[in-house]
Amino acid sequence: MRRIEAVVFDMDGVLLDSEELWDAAREALTREAGGRWHERAQRDMMGMSSTEWSRYMRDELDVPLAPERINTAVVRRMEGLYRRGLPLIEGARPAVERLGAVWPLAIASSANRELIDLALELAGLAESFRARVSSEEVPRGKPAPDVYLEAARRLEADPVRCAAVEDSENGIRSARAAGMRVIAVPNRAFPPAPEVLAEADAVVPRLAALDQAAVTG
C-alpha cells in the first residue's frame, strides 16, 4: 500500500455537474456561428485544454472564428451560467472538507483558470486548495499527465504519493499516466468505458463515499 501525501481533484464532473453546460455552451456557439456540431464532439473535447478545444471547434466543427475568440465566447457563457447558479455536486463540499482535514489538496482541471477560480469562490472552497492548475497552463491537456504532474509539483509532492479524484476517461488516463493512485467517481452523463474505468485503483459511486479509506486503499 502506497503512502498518500496529497490529493488532487478534477473539477468538472467531480465537484461540478458542469459537463453538460460545457456541451451546451459549445454547441450553441457552433450553431450560431454556422459551424457543424456532431454527436462525438462532447466526448472528443472532454479533457482538452482551452487551446486544444478551441482549435478543435475551428478545425473539426467548422466554427469560422479564431480559436482565441472561440475560447473567449465559450468562457463568457460559462461564467454567466455559474453566476446564475453554480452546479455544485451534492456532497462536494463535505468531501473536500473530509480529505482536506488529512491531506493538502489541489485542483487539476481542463477548465480555464478564471473559471476554476470563479467556481471555487462561488462554492466557498477557495481556501481549501493549496494549488490550482488549469491545463491551459501546461503544454498538453488530458489524457497527457501534464496537469497532474504540475499540480504535484506545486504541492511539493511526489506524484506517486498523490491520489487523484477523476470522473472521465481522459482524466483517469491522465492521472494514471502521472503515476498517481486514481479514484474514479464515474461521470453521470458521460460515464467512462468499462475498460477505462478498470484502470482506476478504486471506484466510488458518489462523493459521499469518498473518504480516507477510499483514498488510501
Average pLDDT, the chain: 95
pTM, two decimal places:
0.91
Active site (catalytic) residues: 10, 12
What is the residue extent of each domain of the chain? Answer: 6-17+87-216, 19-84
Residue 101: strand, helix, or coil? coil
- pLDDT-based confidence at 7, cuts 50/70/90? very high
Phi, psi of 166, rounded to the nearest 5 degrees: -135, 160
Please tell me the number of Cα atoms within 13 Å of 144 on its side-chain side: 13
Question: Cell 463540499 maps to which residue?
Answer: 93
CATH code for the part of the protein at 6-17+87-216: 3.40.50.1000
CATH code for the part of the protein at 19-84: 1.10.150
| pLDDT for residue 1 is more than 80 | no
- pLDDT-based confidence at 39, cuts 50/70/90? confident
Cβ atoms 187, 168 nearer than 8 A: yes
Fold match between domain 6-17+87-216 and domain 19-84:
no
Cβ atoms 16, 121 nearer than 8 A: no
Question: Cell 453538460 maps to which residue?
Answer: 20
